[in-house]
Amino acid sequence: MKRTVGALLRKELLVELRTLESVPGMSLFAVTTFVVFHFALNKSSVEGDLAAGILWVTLLFAAILGANRLFVADADQGGFDGFLLAPVDRSAMLAAKVITMLAYLVVLELVAVPAFALLLLGAPLGPALGNLVVTLALADIGIAVIGTLVGAMAVQTRARDLLGPLLALPLLVPIVIGGARATAPLLVATHSSGPAARWLLTLGLYDLVFGLIAYALFDFLLED
Amino acid sequence: MYGRGLRSLSILTVAAMALALSLVFFYAPLEAEQGFLQKIFYLHVPLAIIALCGFVLGGLLAVMHLRTRDSRWDMRSYVVIHMSLIFAVGTLITGSIWAKGSWGHWWVWNEPTLVSFLIVFLLYATYQPLRFAIEDPERQARYASVFAITAGAFVPMNFLAVRLSSAYLHPRVLGSTSNLPGSMALTFLVSLIAMALLFATMCKYELTAKHTRAQVRALRRLLSGEDGAPAPRGRSAVPSTSGPMTTPAAGRTSL
């Protein structure tokens, strides 16, 4: 299992490194969205709830963009067939894709969060960084799991690019609630407290529940 | 075989609904603060409870489908989710009316139950487009089941997150039936049972209709010769009813 996941993961990252299809697009999308927000809101700096909202909406849409592309190569170029022919555990693909998606999200956030701090954020990011990283990490796991599950589902449908976001958005609402509420107190000029523990707990519970569900159901999306 | 008991169930439902409505209007006392408006509670809350239970039930039926690979479970899951969606629309409309009456706005964002319900509704609204976008009937059924299970687990998770996120404003009649005076509790209980019966009846009607249509189609195909008319199946969001029960022979015995 570990070797299979390793091999699949290497293949995923190698494909992404050679084609550069997803991550640059996601990062560019996020930065452009910040610019759009600047003009749409007519604000040159934001704080608190508004800042958290902009950050999470942008990250969410960029993540959905990536999740939509996650299985396209496998569906179009026979990756699924090759994998199904191999005598390996099907869950390996889920694990590899979730880790791939996580890697995409980490790179996306490495670009988007500094860009956000530079372009829009009115408060200093430095003191909040530790808590922000914890919140982002917990949310990323949930986004990666749902992104993988929905991506695998949507890639086999006719309206592939339409159905992915349509399925993913409502499913990710709890992540937005938890993430935005947890980060809002961090993104103010004089923040004193960390994120409330209940939001981190919500995110953790979400990750756990949907991790188990994805593990139980992913096999059914693959067989043909 | 699907139609068996349909008539008695329908009559029972009509009787229960009539009883529930007459209790609501003539027996249950007027609530002190909200007055007549509070009576929508006997419609809104049962609708919401049945719709949510229906969504979760759809997920459980989908589990059965994935375990047995019997397309009948998929059909049941589809019908239950379809009906729950209709009940959910009813819930949102009655909830809106209630919100307008008690708070003066058609939509209230810091009202967690209503907001959760909207999110759940938006998620399930993609169920039919998902089915519609997959042509292969077997794969359509499989993917729909995966969706139904994921969404069924999402329902409680979402309620938890939304409830945490907002101050509690919902009239506290929902979670605390024990605080209700006896006459109100009785009325509520009868309304809930009537609504559950209505749900069951409508599901049964839809199942019977789908089954009958499949039988008619199979018989027509038989009449026009085996290879005469191909099944008029285009793009469809409705589960296919292939399998032993729709073959003409099986159809004849049950007609």
Tell me the per-residue pLDDT of B87-101, one tens digit each, with 9 for 90 and over. 999 999 998 888 888
C-alpha distance from A87 to closest chain B C-alpha (Å)? 22
Q: Report domain extents, chain B.
A: 10-206
The answer, for A220 touching chain B at a CB cutoff of 8 Å, is yes
Q: Which residue of A has its CA nearest to B159?
A: A174
Query: How far is A88 from A11, CA to CA, in rounded Å?
Result: 16
Provide the β-strand partners of residue B35.
B31
Q: CA angle at residue A121 from A22 to A199, to 5 degrees?
A: 75
Interior/surface letters A36-61, b for 16+ CB within 10 angstroms, e for the rest: ebbeeeeeeebbbebbbbbbbebbbb
User: B31: pLDDT confidence band, cut at 50, 70 and 90?
Assistant: confident
* Percentage of residues in chain B having pLDDT higher than 70: 82
User: B57: pLDDT confidence band, cut at 50, 70 and 90?
Assistant: very high
Q: Is B233 exposed, middle or buried (0-12, 13-18, 19+ CB in 10 A)?
A: exposed
User: B83: pLDDT confidence band, cut at 50, 70 and 90?
Assistant: very high
Asked if the Cβ–Cβ distance from A159 to B133 is below 8 Å, we say: yes
Tell me the per-residue pLDDT of B180-227, one tens digit each, with 9 for 90 and over. 677 888 888 999 999 999 999 999 999 999 889 988 998 998 888 765
ipTM of this complex = 0.88
Task: Determine if residue A193 is left, alpha or beta; phi over 0 gives left, psi from -120 to 50 gives alpha, anything else beta.
Answer: beta
CB contacts under 8 A, B 155-174 vs A, are: 157-158, 160-162, 164-165
Q: Which residue of A has its CA nearest to B139?
A: A224
Lowest mean pLDDT among B1-5, B128-132, B133-137, B143-147: B1-5
Query: pLDDT per position in chain A (224 positions), as tens?
Result: 889 999 999 999 998 999 888 999 999 999 999 999 999 999 888 888 899 999 999 999 999 999 999 998 888 888 888 888 888 888 899 999 999 999 999 999 999 999 999 998 888 887 788 889 999 999 999 999 999 999 999 998 887 888 999 999 999 999 998 899 888 888 887 766 666 788 888 899 999 999 999 999 998 988 76
pLDDT of res. B253: 37
Smallest Cβ–Cβ distance between B157 and the set A163, A174, A181 belongs to A174
Q: CA angle at residue A157 from B90 to A167, to 5 degrees?
A: 40
